[in-house]
Chains A and B, each alone.
Chain A
Amino acid sequence: MTGVEEALAATFRTDGGRLMAHLIGALGDFDLAEEAAQEAYAAALTTWRRDGVPDNPRAWLTTTARNRAVDRIRRERKGAEKLRELALIQAEPDRADAFESGIADERLRLLYTCCHPALSLEAQVTLALRTLCGLSTAEIARTFLVAEATMAKRLVRTRQKIKLAGIPYRVPPAHLLPERTDAVLSTIYLLFHQGYADGRAELRLRARELAALTAELMPDHPEAGGLHALLLLLDARAAARAPGGVLVPLDEQDKTLWDFTMIAAGEQALRQVARRGQVGPYQLQAMIAACHVQERIDWARVANLYDRLLVLVPSDTVRLNRAIALSMRDGPDLALLDGIADHPLLPATRADFLRRLGDHEAARAEYEKAIERAPTAADRAYLHRRSAALKGR
């Protein structure tokens, strides 16, 4: 890469999302913003090669993109629409120099628009990655294992829906804000979880990028920071979790595969949100994940955190994990599983309790049931291993 290409790539990496947010805010149109940005990048290559890299590359790009958008509107739009769009862009002051101050709001508006619940989960995530994280269509296509042309079409469809269906470009009003913020966070969590379940590091990386951005844009929302901390602490152990496609329980994981830099970042993020003194489900899960990466796990503390989580999220998954934590604190007892109606991991947990209690025959029967219910291939492989080990005794 030449110096010019490197400078442009660096600007795109750090400021691509900001530039898009600014353009969409100024133009009120995703497609026009995208086209204007593309043209500005192309123009930068030729102009910067000739005249050198400008002192403030992103200001140059912003101004150029706005001018290109104005040209396009003049050329392609007609009548009332033309006047309206030109008025819109000219009413917006050229804030190239005010990039730092107002722009966080625009990215936040963009985040809520991209993660609007009227869009499918995948549409939300892909658009957010494209516009806010500055990923190329090719990169997103790779993340979701589809052809680039397919992904390009999906992105066009999503932008069209936003425009034609009238999805508002704004931070939601107070009465919708809690619900919509939860939707944004759960989109990111689901993206991460998808990458966690099938071992795709790239999905997890993208989810962490979105979580980092959300935490940065919502400094007053402790759950945004809590989610970011949680994803860091979970991802840090991902390489040790199922190497070779077989799930490895926490106490048997090869700790040299843990990413301690990421653990430190997760703990730092957790300390930051903990200072706010407001505890939500993501933060509690992050606190639990932080316990899991300690040299000696304090199971009493884990059980206590699950108690608190259960109050906020009364689900069978939480009940099951709480029972496991209590079994680690006090020893296994099938009575701990009373009241958990049905859960895909219930037979596996029962099998584990029976094995630890020494009832190998009953454990093997439960492992058979567990294998049938196992949600992923890695779970299944682990359960087969456990069951086979009992047969040898």
Chain B
Amino acid sequence: MRYLLLISADETTAEEQFATRKDLPDFDEWMADLERRGVLEVHAGLEMSPTATTVRVRDGEVLLTDGPFAEGREQVGGLAMVNCADLDEAIAIAAGHPASYFGQVEIRPLRP
């Protein structure tokens, strides 16, 4: 099954958490392990949410908003697409990402 992992955290403190916390799993190892297992299809880190542009078309007019569609401190900072056996494997992958220790990872199954 394929899953999208939406990795989010309080983006005002995420950098600091990455830099200072000693109890986090190592990101490079997480990545290398997934590549070795061949389960990682896509992985991307995102620029901070103030760089976002949100587009809506209403009555034929293109409307732009400066910023993400959902305001707030907790913002998506990265995503990964994995192809693995089942939800248990996806949960294990999500729980191995350092951001899950101070933020959260939402697992969404992809439509076939």
Contacts and interface: CB of A to CB of B under 8 A. Distances in A.
A91 interface: no
Interface in B1-29: 1, 3
A118 B109 CA distance: 13
User: Which of A166, A167, A168, A176 counts the most chain B CB atoms within 10 A?
Assistant: A166
Interface stretch (B35-43, B52-60, B87-95): B87-95
B107 to A, nearest CB: 8
Contacts of B91: 118
Interface residues of A, number: 9
B4 to A, nearest CB: 12
Interface string B54-83: 000000000000000000000000000000
Contacts, number: 23
A168 B109 contact: no
Interface string A144-179: 000000000000000000001111100010001000
B44 interface: no
Contacts of A164: 109
B16 to A, nearest CB: 30
Contacts of B90: 166
Contacts of B109: 164-166
Contacts of A116: 87
- The secondary structure that dominates the A interface is loop
A165 B18 CA distance: 30
B87 A176 contact: no
B33 interface: no
A165 B108 CA distance: 7
The interface centre, meaning the residue of B3, B88, B90, B91 with most chain A CB atoms within 10 A of its CB, is: B88
Contact of A172 (B1, B3, B88, B107): B88
Nearest to A176: B88
Interface string B87-105: 1101100000000000000
Contacts of B86: 166-168
B106 to A, nearest CB: 12
Contacts of B88: 167-168, 172, 176
Contacts of A168: 85-88
A166 B91 CA distance: 11
23 contacts: A116-B87, A118-B87, A118-B91, A164-B109, A165-B87, A165-B107, A165-B109, A166-B1, A166-B3, A166-B85, A166-B86, A166-B87, A166-B90, A166-B109, A167-B86, A167-B87, A167-B88, A168-B85, A168-B86, A168-B87, A168-B88, A172-B88, A176-B88
Given A118-B91, A165-B87, A166-B87, 5 more contacts: A116-B87, A165-B107, A166-B1, A166-B85, A172-B88
